[in-house]
Structure 1
Amino acid sequence: MSDRIAAASKLAPSASLTVETVLRVRHWNDHLFSFAITRPPSFRFRSGEFVMIGLPGEGRPLLRAYSIASPAYADELEFLSIKVPDGPLTSRLQGIAPGDPLYLGRKPTGTLVADALLPGRRLFLLSTGTGLAPFLSLARDPDIYERFNEIVLVHCVRQVGDLAWREELESQLAGDPLVQDQALLQFHYLPTVTREAFRTEGRIDALIDDGRLFARPLTGPAYFDPASDRIMLCGSMAMIRDLQARLQALGFREGSNAAPGDFVIERAFVG
């Protein structure tokens, strides 16, 4: 075990936490990485939920909420994270290596789940940055393809190198053991970049305004229709607040686990 997380040797399970092992780490660039850990046999979650991840802190564990990027059927749990040099947790977490231990919360939760949405025809998963993570789980959930005719995943980032899992998503999840056949017909991936040249450029609101979000091969109207469209938002607070106001002005109702609606956000992250 490396010195950078030597204190992790003191990890011990508790009523709310298990101790899991890092299986692999992938550094996408100098400010973005993903990691996979072991999954306890008793750990169950719904696609789109988040869970607490952490390391020992001063007197008590240092924990942060992370959306689960892996599908609900996977034998491991994967997460996507930014690197914050002076971040209390991420400054240490970015140095993890296979074999290192991490804390994992026992109770996943969240509102970015299919149960919080009413039935519809098109499902739009609108993300910026690491907000992609819960939608990676949802896009590989067979139930989503039964609930919706089309699934549209939009990932907006600053630089092309920030498009994590781009190859897998561009292939329409080819090779996925459960959804590859359905995804080939129903799944659409739209990456967009704001600070570099790329085939699609601009923020999500710009793609909505000029109709690029609704372009072929997507079918249906070139606008959001509350009668048939369902939307999930995850990413920057500015994006979520802007699109939330826009959707509500169009007649969309926010949903929750207790009262399903037309769109959902993860309030645990945005306040």
Structure 2
Amino acid sequence: METTAPAPVKANAAFNTERVTHVHHWTDQLFSFRTTRSPALRFQSGQFVMIGLHLAGRPLVRAYSIASPHYAEELEFYSIKVPDGPLTSHLQNIAVGDEVLVGRKPTGTLVLDALLPGRSLYLLATGTGLAPFLSLARDPDVYDRFERVVVTHTCRQEIDLGYRAFLETLDQDPNLGEIVAGKLSYYPSLTRDAFKTTGRITDLIASGRLSDDLALPSLDPAQDRVMVCGGPPMLADLRQLLDGLGFAEGSLAEPGAYVYEKAFAA
């Protein structure tokens, strides 16, 4: 997930130069890539960093959620392709061996310590907002803290469900399988294509369809915790829904029942 407006930075800003190790084009509008990782970079699963390229003689960067877990040897990112985007129009053409700027100061609100203890953790994403939850879904600490972890991913078309096969088979991973099995539920839905589950995630929650399909109780602020990442309209609608259900927004200073990634809210 990335912000909509790139930010120019000063030449002496704190960035590591990393090399691209892998690029995957999911569709003509979506791609992901991995880079080397400086041993000095430390982050919590769910955080984001500024990444970018040297363009026209200066660095041009924007915020990207880290899709890899905190312990991974490489960094992974998931991005849309914007044909006329100042950064993305160039970034989508990167190849293995190319250099990418990666900020040294990860931050973000989608961290476990901003939530109170609870029963189930719901990670609600649209589009490339799935990225931070790919990190959290691979973090063993998440499964130590919660009995159930639900990753929802809402897109327009079935082709847009990047990482679908990965999430559907994470319980078979040789390293994480035993930790994830019986705890992780992946719940994709579409708003345009015909699919087994259709509709906006707000409607699926409000109607009770989500809880019915997962055989879980309705969302309860006393026991359930929620993280949200997606476009501004989705964030606004889900915040309104969660506030109406009695969920209190959390922060590192005062943990609560839900958090959303504020870097992508406007």
What TM-score, normalized by structure 1, do the two folds share?
0.91
Provide the residue aligned with 1:227 in structure 2. Answer: 222
Distance, in Å, in 2 between the alignment partners of 1:76 and 1:173 is 21
* Equivalent in 165, 178, 181 of residue 167 of structure 1: 165
Distance, in Å, in 2 between the alignment partners of 1:242 and 1:15 is 36
**In the alignment, is residue 100 of structure 1 matched against residue 98 of structure 2?**
yes
Structure 1 window deviating more from structure 2 (164-173 vs 20-29): it is 164-173
Residues 152-174 of structure 1, C-alpha deviations (whole Å, 9 max, x = no match): 00000011111111111112442
Distance, in Å, in 1 between the alignment partners of 2:157 and 2:247 is 31
Provide the residue aligned with 2:181 in structure 1. Answer: 184
Unaligned runs of 5+ in 2: 1-10
**Cα gap change, 1:196/1:216 in structure 2, threshold over 3 Å: closer, same or farther?**
closer
Please say if residues 39 and 76 of structure 1, whose CA atoms lie closer than 8 Å, have aligned partners that are also in contact.
yes
Give the aligned length.
256
**In the alignment, is residue 114 of structure 1 matched against residue 112 of structure 2?**
yes
Unaligned runs of 5+ in 1: 1-12
Q: What secondary structure does 2:159 align onto?
A: helix
Matches within 5 A, 1:257-268: 257-268=252-263
Distance, in Å, in 2 between the alignment partners of 1:254 and 1:260 is 8
Could you tell me how far 1:58 is from its partner in structure 2?
A: 3.8
Q: What secondary structure does 2:181 align onto?
A: helix
Provide the residue aligned with 1:157 in structure 2. Answer: 155
**In the alignment, is residue 247 of structure 1 matched against residue 242 of structure 2?**
yes
Could you tell me how far 1:257 is from its partner in structure 2?
A: 1.5
Matches within 5 A, 1:57-72: 57-72=55-70
Residues 112-148 of structure 1, C-alpha deviations (whole Å, 9 max, x = no match): 0101100000100000000000000000000000110
Provide the residue aligned with 2:73 in structure 1. Answer: 75
Please say if residues 172 and 189 of structure 1, whose CA atoms lie closer than 8 Å, have aligned partners that are also in contact.
no
**In the alignment, is residue 38 of structure 1 matched against residue 36 of structure 2?**
yes
Residues 160-191 of structure 1, C-alpha deviations (whole Å, 9 max, x = no match): 111111111112442151x3112111000000
Structure 1 window deviating more from structure 2 (56-65 vs 244-253): it is 56-65
Could you tell me how far 1:259 is from its partner in structure 2?
A: 1.2
* Equivalent in 197, 200, 222 of residue 200 of structure 1: 197
Distance, in Å, in 2 between the alignment partners of 1:89 and 1:54 is 7
Could you tell me how far 1:14 is from its partner in structure 2?
A: 4.9
Provide the residue aligned with 1:135 in structure 2. Answer: 133
